[in-house]
């Protein structure tokens, strides 16, 4: 669904109501008008599809009580936080950004920790590398980068052995992203609880990833 620039003459009172609604929805005037017209004509915009994905992610992860939604910085991005029960109780931030009209890479997941403690950052980097090595062992190489205590991983639909198609609706895509983040978060907390025993930590992380694969007919 492409976009073009149009000039419209609108009543000031109508624009005021649109702006209020846009503020409540954390979006801008143009996108709000676009959504209103799309709803009127029973059309589904990319923004609505993205919102459905994010709503499903929030519903699943909030229901588990392990992650909490943060203020969304834009229509194409959502952020969640997780408390890590370790020294200084650092907060881990997960940011999900979905691209518009791109396939098979449909977005990216970024993970970072709010801390200035160099030891914690080093441990986090070690976990990132261990997790990505585990992924590579089970599903092959994924596109990612690790730098400065942050992980950026591309979201790309992959067909698991139990799947017949990688093309999904918004709700199912939200479920897959939520399952991945949930598994990642669980593995991270296990890693830090076994920080003094790397062999045990690696074994437990593999077990978490195996469980994730069993739950997800499609994977990201």
- Where is mean pLDDT largest: 71-80, 154-163, 187-196? 187-196
Strands (E), 65-121: 68-69, 77-83, 91-98, 105-114
Q: Please state the pTM of the whole predicted model.
A: 0.80
Backbone angles phi, psi at 206, to 5 degrees: -60, -40
Q: What is the pLDDT of residues 12-54, one digit of tens each?
A: 898 898 899 888 877 888 878 877 887 777 666 777 888 889 9
Residues 68, 31: Cα–Cα separation, whole Å: 26
Give the pLDDT of residue 31. 79
On whether the CB atoms of residues 91 and 84 are closer than 8 A, the answer is yes
């Amino acid at each position: 669904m492409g976009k073009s620039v149009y000039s419209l003459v609108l009543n000031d009172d109508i624009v005021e109501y649109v702006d209020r609604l846009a503020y409540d929805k954390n979006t801008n005037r143009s996108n709000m008008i676009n959504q209103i017209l799309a709803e009127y004509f029973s059309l589904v915009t990319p923004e609505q599809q993205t919102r459905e994905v994010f709503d499903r992610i929030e519903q699943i992860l909030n229901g588990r009580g392990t992650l909490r939604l943060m203020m969304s910085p834009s229509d194409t991005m959502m952020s969640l936080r997780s408390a890590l029960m370790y020294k200084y109780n650092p907060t881990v931030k997960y940011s999900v950004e979905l691209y518009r009209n791109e396939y098979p890479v449909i977005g990216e997941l970024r993970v970072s920790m709010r801390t200035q403690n160099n030891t914690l950052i080093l441990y986090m980097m070690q976990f990132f590398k261990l997790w990505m090595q585990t992924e590579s062992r089970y599903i092959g190489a994924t596109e990612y980068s690790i730098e400065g205590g942050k992980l950026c991983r591309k979201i790309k639909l992959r067909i698991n052995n139990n799947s017949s198609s990688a093309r999904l609706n918004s709700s199912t895509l939200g479920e897959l992203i939520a399952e991945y983040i949930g598994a990642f978060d669980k593995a991270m907390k296990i890693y830090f609880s076994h920080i003094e025993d790397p062999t045990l930590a690696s074994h437990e992380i593999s077990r978490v990833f195996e469980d994730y694969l069993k739950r997800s007919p499609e994977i990201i």
